[in-house]
Amino acid sequence: MSAPVRVESAGDIAVIVVESPPVNALSQAVRAGLSAAIEQADRDPAVRAIVLHGAGKAFMAGADLRELEEPPKAPLLKDVLTRLESSAKPVIAALHGAVLGGGAEAALACHFRCATSDLQLGFPEVKLALLPGAGGTVRLPRLVGVKKALDLMIGGGSLGLQEALSAGLVDRAAGDEDARTAALAYAREILERGIGVRRARDRVIPESGQAKRVLIPEYRAALPRAARGSQAVERILQSVEAALELPFEAALEQAQAAFQECRISSESRALRHLFLAERGSGGEGAKSARDTARPVVRIGVVGAGTMGSGIAAACAQAGFSVVLVDAAPAALEAGLRRVQSITDSAVKKGRIGPEEARAVAARLRGVGDLAALCDADLIIEAIIESLAAKQTVFEQLGRLAKPGAVLATNTSTLDVEAIGRASGRAADVVGMHFFSPAHVMRLVEIVRVRDSAPEAIATALAVTRRLGKTGVIVGNAFGFVGNRMLYAYGREKELMMLEGVEPSRIDQALENFGMAMGPNAVGDLAGLDIGVSARREWKERPDDPRFFRVSDLLVEHGRLGQKSGAGFYRYVGPERRREIDPEVVELIRAEASRLGVPRRDVAEEEIIARCIYALINEGARLLEAGIARSGADIDVIWCNGYGFPKSRGGPMFHADTVGLSQILRLIGRYREAVGPRYWSPAPLLERLAGAGGSLSGYRAGGQPAT
C-alpha cells in the first residue's frame, strides 16, 4: 500500500498530496506523512511555494474517529499545523469537497486558500461533543471575528464557496478549473506579485477589546438550554476566551487540553459510537447494495394512508417515479393531498425550490387499481396492520408485478415470511419498516427472511440510502428489533401505572433521562388503537391480564389518543394542548383494584431503571437469537426510530457505560421486588457480564466483544 502523503513537483512549486481514501481522514499515518512532507518542501531550496491538495472527492474530512478511542499519538495535528503555518514559503490550500473538522483547521493554517464550487467548509466537532482542538478556536476568530467563529463552531454547520468567500475564509474561487490546477495558478500569481506569507496567528482578533467583556457573556446567555448544558459548547467558549487573553501558543495548548477532556467524556464516546454505528449499519449488505442491487426507477406504493403517502412523498422527492394506489377514491384523494402538503412544507422551509416541487408533483400519480404497478421495479405495501389483509395484497402482487420486481411490506410487527409465501415469489419479498412520519424519520428496518434473495435485500438497502435514510437489516420476529424491544419498555410503564404511578410521572422521568418523549405521550401521538390491533396479531404475547392493560382499557373507553382528543392525556383546543386528566388516574386505580395489583411507592430512579433495563435485557435476547445482527445496530434503531438520547449512545452502549454487572444486579433486585415473570436476565447478558464483554460491540454469531 502506497504512503498516504506524497510530494510532487510542479516546477518550483511543491504539491503535497494527501491520498488516504475514502475522505483523507487525518489518521496518525497521514499526520506523520504531512509533517515529513512539509519539512521536506520547506527545506528544499528549489521550492518557492507549496500547494496542499487532497486527492479524490474531498480535501480532508476530519479526524479518524477510531483513533480517538486511544490516547493521542504523535505527531499531534496541532503540532503539524503549527509547522505548516510556520513555513517560510507561501502555502496555498487547494480546497474542494469536504473540508471539515481537522481538515478545516489545516486549511486555516495555510497562508492562502483557493476553493472550488463544491466546497463544504465547516467545524462539525460539536456534533460529537468535541471542539476544534488543533487551532480552530484560535485561528478562526482571527480570520472571521469572534461572533462568526462561535456561530460556525457551536452551530456545527458548513459554508459553501460564496459564504466562505464573503467570510474571508477563501481567498480565490477556482472557477472552471479543478482545485489543484487553480491553486497552482494562484501560487504562481502570489510568487510573481511578491506577496509574502499571511499567517492567521499574526492577525488581531477584530473584537478583542469587547469580546471578553461583553460579546462572549451575551453569546453564552443567549444559547438554547440544550447548548448551555453541553460540555463541548462551554469548552469552545472558554477556548475562544483563551484566544483573546493568552499568547497564541498558550491558547493552542488550552484548546488541546479542552479537546482531550471532551474526547474522554461519556457523551462524546456515545456520539462517536453512534456515528460509526450508523455508517456500518448496512454491514455486509452495504457492499452488496452497491454490487447486486436491482435497478429501481419506478416505485409503487400500496395504501394512501398517513404512512403510504409519507413513503410516496419521500420516494418522489428522491427522484423516483411513483404510483400511489388505493382502491378507495376518498382515501386516494386525501393521500395525494398529504403528499402535496409535505412538498409545500419543504418549499416553505427552503429544503427544495418551487421548480423542484413541480418536478416532485410530476413524478407522482395516484390510481385505484393494483394493475397499474405492472411495470414497477419496487412495490411497497403500506396498508392496515393485518396479516390476512397483507397476504391478500401480496397474492395479487405476486401475479401482477413484473419478474424481478422487489415486493416490500411496511409491516411494523407481522411475519414477513408468511406475507412472502402468499405472493408465490418469496425470494422477491422483504420487509421495509418505515417509521412515522415516513418522509421525516431516517430509520428503515429492512427485514430479511429465509427466502429473501440477497439481491432483494440489497435493493431495499440501496433505495433506503437513496432516500437519505439509514437502513438496518434485521431478522424476522414479531416486532422485529425496534418494536419487540418497545414492548418490553412499554410493559414496565404499564405495570407501574397499575402499581400507582401516574402517566405524567412516567413520561417526565423518562424525558428527564433524555428520551425525546415519554412513552404515554408517544402512545397518544401514534394512536392507542394501533397498538391494540398489533397486539391482537401477536400469537405469542404474554398470557398476563396486566400486559398493556391500561392502554387496552383506554381504547375500550374511546380514548384513542390525540386523534380522539383523549388518551393518557386530554387534548384541548385546535392546538391540541396536552393536559393531565384525573379521569385516567381513576380508571387505572379501579382496574388495578379489579386485577388485585397492590399499590406501592415507586421512585423516579425505579421508573427509569425498569423501563430502560427491560429494554436492554430484551435487546440482549434479540442479539442472542440473531434477530439483531449487532449491538450497534440496536443502538442505531433506537436512537433514530424511538427517541433514545443520542448522548447516551443507544441502549446497548448505555448498558456498557453503566456496567453489565451493575445491570444484572438491578435485574435481580426487580426480580425480588415485582416478581420473576419478566425479570430473568438474558443468558447473553450474563455471559458478557462474566467475561467483561460489551453489548454495543457484540455481533450475533461472533465472540463476546471486550
**CA–CA distance, 465 with 683 (Å, rounded to integer):** 35
Q: Is 125 a catalytic residue?
A: yes
**Long-range Cβ contacts of 70-73 (<8 Å, 24+ apart):** 72/260, 73/28
Q: Strand, coil or helix: what is 67?
A: helix
Q: Is 245 a catalytic residue?
A: no
CA atoms within 13 A of residue 407's CA, in its CB half-sphere:
33
Other residues' Cβ atoms within 10 Å of the Cβ of residue 172 = 18
User: For residue 42, with 0-12 CB atoms within 10 Å meaning exposed, 13-18 middle and 19 or more buried, which class applies?
Assistant: middle
Is the dihedral angle over the CA atoms 423, 427, 428, 433 positive or is it negative? positive
Q: Are 414 and 389 in contact (CB under 8 A)?
A: no
Active-site hit among 69, 70, 125, 249: 125
Q: In what order do the strands lie in the sheet with 429-434?
A: 364-367, 321-325, 298-302, 378-381, 406-409, 429-434, 443-447, 470-474
Other residues' Cβ atoms within 10 Å of the Cβ of residue 18 = 24
CA atoms within 13 A of residue 342's CA, in its CB half-sphere:
25
Interaxial angle between packed helices 482-498 and 631-641, expressed in degrees from 0 to 180 and rounded to the nearest 10: 70
Q: Which three cell numbers stand for residue 312?
A: 410516496
Q: Please list, in sequence order, all residues whose beta carbon lies within 8 angstroms of the beta carbon of residue 439, skipping any fewer than 6 positions away.
A: 310, 311, 313, 314, 317, 342
Q: Are 146 and 152 in contact (CB under 8 A)?
A: no
Q: Which residue matches cell numbers 409535505?
A: 342
Other residues' Cβ atoms within 10 Å of the Cβ of residue 43 = 10
Q: Strand, coil or helix: what is 383?
A: coil
**CA–CA distance, 312 with 339 (Å, rounded to integer):** 7
Where does 122-228 have alpha helices with state H? 136-144, 146-155, 161-167, 179-193, 208-210, 216-222, 225-228
Q: Are 118 and 251 in contact (CB under 8 A)?
A: no
Q: How, if at all, do strands 5-10 and 13-18 pair?
A: antiparallel
Q: Are 627 and 446 in contact (CB under 8 A)?
A: no
Q: Which residue matches cell numbers 378507495?
A: 328
Active-site hit among 85, 105, 381, 591: 105
Other residues' Cβ atoms within 10 Å of the Cβ of residue 498 = 21
Q: Which residue type, as a one-letter code, is found at position 114?
A: C
**CA–CA distance, 401 with 396 (Å, rounded to integer):** 8
**CA–CA distance, 506 with 605 (Å, rounded to integer):** 11
Identify any residues that bridge with 158 across adjacent strands, giving them in sequence order: 122
Q: Strand, coil or helix: what is 298?
A: strand
Identify any residues that bridge with 16 across adjacent strands, giving them in sequence order: 7, 52
What residues are annotated to the active site? 105, 125
